Amino acid sequence: MALRRLEPLATGLIAGLVAIAAGFVCVQLAYRVHPIAPIALAGAGAAVWVAFWRPVWSLYLGILLIPLELVSFKLGGAGLSPAEAVFVLTGVAWACRRLALGQLPWVSTPLAAPLALLVLAVLPGVATAVDSFVVWKVVVLWSAFFFIFQMIVAEGDERSVRQLLFVLAISGGIVGLIAISGSAGQQPELVGAGDVAKGRAKGTFGHPNTLATFLALALPGALALGLHGRFSWRPVALAAFGAMLIGISLSLSRGGLLAIAGALGLMLLWAPFRRAAVIAIAGAVLLYAAGAQPLTASQQVETVTQRLNTVGYSAAGVDPRFYVWERSPQVVADSLPFGVGANNFVEVAPRYGLLLGAAAESPYEHAHNIPLTFLAELGIAGLIAVIWLAVVLTQILARAFRRSDSQRRGVVLAVAAALFALALQGMVDYTLRSAVIVALIFALSGCAAVLARAVDEQPDQERARAR
């Protein structure tokens, strides 16, 4: 009886000692490391807890941290942005949790095999690459992203897909606003015929083409949810759509602009967007008929139009990309069958005279084309994986679109349009050196698998009505 009376006292004493110890550690960290270190440690502990017990929430957190992409902290010899760190934590924590429950971190789906091959194609570069540490980093990151894909397939449904697209829209809207604010009072300028541009928006990615890729991945989802999503989400999604559209225009990325045009063209297959497009065009025609010409008077629209007009000029062979495309096959031939190693194109480029800049002092980082860069860096297996992935994604998304009703079709098309935009830009650029972009590809692939599964599982009566 006496011992029971002492239990609250003992519990309070232990809690007090723990609090004192924690306070002492925080003070020492703040004094010896950095004043913000205790806050960072507490945040890291919370992130670990969320990753293990609510991994989907952890994925959303990683997406919301993408606007901090320029922030990087050292982990050994590797630099990780906050979003990258949370993505890795999410994938690894989910895989460990599955194993602890006696389940394998693998779910059978048509997309699993090509994505697994893509990750495996990176491994030979550990032995062949000039910079093997970079290859190891890619192996760790892409493996974690593969587990994120598996997590979405295993635990996701249509509701979680819409939530992911909404979170991605918010993150894209923030990045778009950052790009707009960074260009405030300073319009991008074209040099010469317009094939060279200065003052392009870079947002939080450090490069305008990578900014355009991210916004292109996020924009279709914002459009779909803004037109036909949850009512409370629509204003936020439409505002994010507008910010992203302006951000892409300020990037003056020709590949990004053409990618967005292709994505919006694909979204025209969805009736609500067709109606919205007709209303927007009719409104513009009425404004012009009334004598108002807001688009013609806009300096930014003129700049974008002139920039797009240089596509024909570049196609004549003046664009430096043609030089890269001409020399890169020799890189491929000399490095078969395994390639030069992930993100190692820049290491071998000087051997082949692939240098840029007025003084030709900087090597090209990639081959300005996704299939060609994959073949050069990851070898034959990498090229097979990316083609296989593209074919399977096209098949399952087309099937899901045909069998879906109008509301579901918007989400299916949003995922398809995002990946289609990436493919279009990938014909003239390679922005997959950004781990965040790769993580989103794996996540959107998971969304595609979930949507295809949902369509296959729907009752025959509902499928008939969708037709």
| C-alpha count within 13 angstroms, C-beta hemisphere, residue 41 | 14
Query: What crossing angle do the helices spanning 158-182 and 208-228 adopt, rounded to 10°?
Result: 130
Instruction: Identify whether 117 is part of a domain.
Output: yes
- For 62, the token pair is 């990683």
Q: What is the arithmetic mean of pLDDT over 175-184?
A: 82
Give the model confidence (pLDDT) of 373-411 as tens digits.
999 999 999 999 999 999 999 999 999 999 888 778 999
Q: What is the pLDDT of residue 9?
A: 52
Question: What pLDDT band is residue 104 in, cutting at 50, 70 and 90?
Answer: confident
Q: What is the pLDDT of residue 5?
A: 53
Pairing status of strand 196-198 against strand 189-191: antiparallel
| Window from 63-72, 346-355, 358-367, 411-420 with minimum mean pLDDT | 358-367
Instruction: Identify whether 149 is part of a domain.
Output: yes
Q: What is the pLDDT of residue 406?
A: 75
* pLDDT over 80 (residue 136): yes
User: Cα-flanking dihedrals φ and ψ of residue 73, to 5°?
Assistant: -125, 150
- Determine the structural domain holding residue 423 and report its residue range: 27-466
- For 283, the token pair is 């409104």
Alpha-carbon gap, residue 404 to 351, rounded angstroms: 52
Instruction: Identify whether 55 is part of a domain.
Output: yes
Total structural domains in the chain? 1
Give the model confidence (pLDDT) of 187-244 as tens digits.
666 555 445 556 677 878 888 889 999 999 999 999 999 998 899 999 999 999 999 9
Alpha-carbon gap, residue 310 to 318, rounded angstroms: 10
Alpha-carbon gap, residue 277 to 280, rounded angstroms: 5
Alpha-carbon gap, residue 55 to 47, rounded angstroms: 10
Give the model confidence (pLDDT) of 54-79 as tens digits.
888 999 999 999 998 877 766 555 67
Q: What is the pLDDT of residue 297?
A: 44
b/e per residue 55-70 (b: at least 16 CB within 10 A): bbebbbbbbbbbbebe
Instruction: Identify whether 18 is part of a domain.
Output: no
Instruction: Identify whether 9 is part of a domain.
Output: no
Burial of 451 (0-12, 13-18, 19+ CB in 10 A): buried
Q: Read off the pTM.
A: 0.85
Instruction: Identify whether 2 is part of a domain.
Output: no
Between 284 and 143, the more confident residue is 143
Token match 């994604």: residue?
393
Instruction: Identify whether 176 is part of a domain.
Output: yes
Q: What is the arithmetic mean of pLDDT over 234-259?
A: 90
